[in-house]
């Protein structure tokens, strides 16, 4: 990986596993300018997971789509952007436990998201359910 400030090569100076997020945090130091910055490694879910809808048609899992649906439900909150990012990470971590062979039912994603939103903000949960009535 190259430096985000000068595009020279970098080396890893520290690394930690993030088990909750199924990721790896790394601290990198630039061999050119000496700058230090962090990177986060996580699975490429859009390549690994397929979502099966009601018609049995499958599509790649798009995390941004999940994020947008959560963000739309949290828009009434001042820190919706940050909270939607954190909740999306939580939902993705929970999806990981139901992604057998990389295939996930769309209804499972909706149900997991509803449960997470309901615990966090009842208004957001109600908003989300209005746009995702399919699952129970
Ligand atoms: Zn640099």
For tokens 């930690």, name the residue.
16
Tokens for 102, please give them.
Answer: 């990389």
State the distance from the centre of ligand 1 to the C-alpha of 111, rounded, in angstroms. Answer: 44
State the distance from the centre of ligand 1 to the C-alpha of 82, rounded, in angstroms. Answer: 28
Q: What is the C-alpha separation between 51 and 61, in angstroms, rounded?
A: 6
Domain ranges of the chain: 10-41, 45-131
The count of C-alpha atoms lying within 13 angstroms of the C-alpha of 96, restricted to the half-sphere facing its C-beta, is 16
Indicate the pTM of the whole model.
Answer: 0.84
Flag whether pLDDT at 53 surpasses 70.
yes
Strand pairing partners for 59?
51
C-alpha distances (whole Å) from 31 to each of 12, 22, 26, 81, 127 are 10, 28, 16, 34, 49
State the distance from the centre of ligand 1 to the C-alpha of 10, rounded, in angstroms. Answer: 8
Residue-level length of the chain: 136
For 76-131, the pLDDT digits (tens) are 999 999 999 999 999 999 998 888 899 999 999 999 999 999 999 999 999 999 99
Flag whether pLDDT at 55 surpasses 80.
yes
State the distance from the centre of ligand 1 to the C-alpha of 2, rounded, in angstroms. Answer: 8
Q: Specify whether the CB–CB gap between 82 and 71 falls below 8 A.
A: no
State the distance from the centre of ligand 1 to the C-alpha of 15, rounded, in angstroms. Answer: 19
State the distance from the centre of ligand 1 to the C-alpha of 36, rounded, in angstroms. Answer: 8
State the distance from the centre of ligand 1 to the C-alpha of 109, rounded, in angstroms. Answer: 40
State the distance from the centre of ligand 1 to the C-alpha of 26, rounded, in angstroms. Answer: 16
State the distance from the centre of ligand 1 to the C-alpha of 118, rounded, in angstroms. Answer: 44
């Amino acid at each position: 990986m190259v430096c985000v400030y000068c595009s020279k090569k970098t080396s890893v100076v520290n690394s930690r596993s993030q088990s909750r997020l199924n990721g790896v945090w790394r601290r990198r130091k630039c061999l050119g300018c000496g700058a230090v910055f962090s990177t986060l490694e996580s699975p490429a879910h859009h390549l690994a997971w397929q979502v099966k809808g009601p018609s049995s048609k499958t599509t790649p899992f798009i995390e941004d789509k999940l994020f947008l649906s959560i963000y739309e439900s949290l828009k009434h909150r001042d820190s919706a952007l940050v909270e939607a990012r954190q909740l999306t990470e939580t939902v993705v971590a929970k999806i990981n436990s139901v992604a057998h062979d990389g295939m996930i039912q769309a209804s499972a994603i909706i149900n997991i998201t509803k449960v997470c939103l309901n615990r966090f903000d009842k208004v957001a949960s109600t908003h989300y359910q209005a746009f995702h009535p399919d699952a129970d």
